[in-house]
Structure 1
Amino acid sequence: MAAANLLSEDQFLCSICLDVFTDPVRTPCGHNVCKNCIDKHWKMNFPMPCPMCKAVFYGRPQLRVNTFISEMVAQFRHKAQQKAGSGSGSGSGSSEQQVAKPADVPCDVCTGTKLKALKSCLVCLTSYCETHLEPHLTLSGLKRHQLIHPVENLEDRMCTKHDKPLELFCKTDQMCVCLMCSVLDHKTHEFVPLKEEYEGKKAALGKTEAEIQQMIRKRRLKIQEIKHSVKISKDDADREKAEGVQVFTALKESVDRGLNELMKEIEEKQKTTEKQAEVFIRDLEQEISVLTKRSTEVEQLSRSEDHLHLLQHFPSLKAAPPTKDWTEVRVRLPSHRGTVVRTVAQLEKTLGKETKKLFEDELKRVQQYAVDVTLDPDTAHPGLILSDDGKEVNDGDVEKNLPDTPERFSSLCVLGKQSFSSARFYYEVQVKGKTAWTLGVSRESINKKGDITLSPEDGYWTIWLRNGNEYEANTDYLDCLSLKSRPEKVGVFVDYEEGLVSFYDVDTAALMYSFTGCSFTERLYPFFSPGLNRGGKNSVPLVVSPVNQTE
């Protein structure tokens, strides 16, 4: 039709959706609109106004599709598509459009099979496939519309109160608003364009993403750390099992060897006794045989009535044949007393060697966790004297004038500066020449004032020396320690996770005592008390010594 060339592009646009007509209808007041658009418009408004001239209808008019305009629109669309195709180059063709999948945004204009939308229009609130998008790319009135990547729920981008696009961000209420909101409901508020707020929020999200990635990296590192700890634990467990098998195999062999030697000794003694008894019995039986023969001869002679015969043989038979005097003869019974004791003593000696070697190996392992400990003067009782390097402490008999802070003990005690809340640690203290001392660890929240009870329940895991020779572990009750020698240097080992506190005689590599099954939930501090001076009898200081690995 030649008339189509005389009309401008804007004359083919619906006044409601601002897009090219789809099923155009004429209102009673003479204006053309899309049938679907006017239906929606009148559903939301009563009385029903014309979107162009605002003429009001109180009854829904009967609307029919304007076939003339429909044909004009069809020709216009065809012409626009040809123009777009020729402008893209003779060698390029339109790619085959895809049918919308469940995860895709479908074209709102397609009828029947929905094609995948290529763009969504924020003005029309409609998503378009490539074909139905053409008017927005060719018509000057539609080119001004804002196109974005296809999205669903375009209605959510409209102000529900004013039916206008959400174009501004209210910083006061932290919400998206339309232009009408900015001059009505939010007129005194601070506004920025959506794009500006978008950039700010995007930057904030970038920072959040960086923080999240950092958190992820830290947690992955923590996973690696945990896996490494498990590997270390498994290696320790395998080594302990191997050493345990080796030690107990040696102990079992010693026990078996001792038992075999015991059985052999007892059996040999018994065989000797049995051989001696056999000799005695054989000699006795021989004598019995001789005596039985003589008894028979004597009996026969005594029955003889031949006077001459009896008198002739009497001299040779009147006395018993010569025999051995068995009165004092005894079987020498072997003494088995002490055999078992001697064997067990030898076994104990062997076990002692194995046990000593085991303790030496154990001490070597714990010494690997040695830490540098110095005494904390802020916690020291005023009567204590600390060396300048913080390694020695003893009772000075005179209290200094020091502030009574919450950290300071009111009894003769001092803590180490260093604290521990995980892993393992070990330190050594020289106690040579002292008649009293207390060593161990304490938790952070202990009571430092008044009467102090040194027990695990009150946060102390310690052992002490009293009266020069009484070694005791401060449990809920005093547990006396049976030591073979007086320790001159004491090693203190703590395994925080395992809940273990052990004390070693460093010089003999002997285990003095262990607190097991402890539950540590706070930081732990090394704990020291040098004991009272006692007029110089206990003036020797406690000395925190450097740890030298035992050979």
Structure 2
Amino acid sequence: MDVATTVKKMKEEATCSICLQLMTAPSSIDCGHSFCSLCIKGIIEKEQEERPWLLSFDCPLCRTKFQKNSLRPMKQLENLIETVKEMEHESLCEEHGEQLHLFCEDDGQPICWCCERTPQHKGHKHILVEDAYPVYKEKIQLQRKEIKSSFQNLYDFLHEDRKSIMWRLDSEDSQTFKRLEESEASMKRQCHELKSHILELQKKCEGSAHSLLQDVKDTLSRSSAMKVEVPEAVSLEIQTDSNISELYCIVRKILKTYQVDVTLDPETAHNNLILSEDGRNVRHGGTQKKYHNSRRFLALPCVLGREGFTSGRHYFEVDVQQGGDWELGLCLEDVPRDKNVKPEPESGFWVIRQRKVDGCTALTDPSQSLCLSEKPQIVGVFLDYEAGRVSFYSMPTGSHIFTFTEDSFSDTLWPFFRIYHLSPLFLLPPDK
């Protein structure tokens, strides 16, 4: 049922049978029928003028007797009538009084068929409201998700960096500590403002088609242009105005401070993999005769990095743009190597996967499909060992892809890569 039909039916139910208008201050009588308060009182007063001795009166609809003191105000019906008025106003063109069946993509507003023929909208692209609604709803939901994820990760990094330098504050003067508190208070305030904006976007998504599309381009524009004041990760004295793109720059800058030099370990490589001499490039090739050892993958075309991690924060980048399919992340030393297992945390893997057939997926149990605005070109892997977090980022934008969270790690974690046909991987060296 479309909006126009719904409004029509609601108006029929909320129309006073005496004045034939939407009820004003509706009141109910004993039989259950409702009328405008002034309308039913007018009938009572007229009958009392003609027959002053009357103590009961006939319902204008069903003729059931009722007494004057039985009138009951219907607040809920009054609220419903106000909603009907709002819906009627919302779904009709203010200029022409016609239903807003079309959406003008150039102006970002719902219009009626009369508007479509005016010079103002001549040459513009118009689509049906029911077709525009899911498209713009998805855009708002995706933008809400990206903003929320980006700010959450920024907040996490700043919070962790704050903890790491707290021990130095004991020897510094009170002004330094005050600046730190002010920075944190500012961050919390801006996070609160962000949450309010996210709720605004969510409310739009949950509303009607016309409500979502009303000023939708302005909403998207305001979201993209949001500005926040962000303290630098380490320096407590410098603050800078930054938009969302600049926030990504801050995330990249923080990640780069933990970048390590990861190369591939040929002793772990499956027989069908070919590694470059410098240990940075790996591709799927013909069967290679290699000496068997307990660390080599036998079932799947996988390889590990030479460097393992037992503590601290570490970050490395993998160039994945030459192929369409890959799996990468971190794993434990004792993961199965002679049989085909799903690389999930339960089996000692913290891995995401990209495939042409189903896009990007976090290999959890069950797997989680990841809605990304664009296919990653370079994937950054960040390990916070003590915090039990393995995070993935799309570079060079610095946008967050996914984070695995564990209570803690206790064993060595190794960079993990699965290679698909025609999809080589290249490990990038740290920036100098």
Normalising by the residue count of structure 1, what TM-score does the alignment of the two structures yield?
0.39
Higher fraction of strand? 2
Larger Cα-atom Rg: 1
Normalising by the residue count of structure 2, what TM-score does the alignment of the two structures yield?
0.49
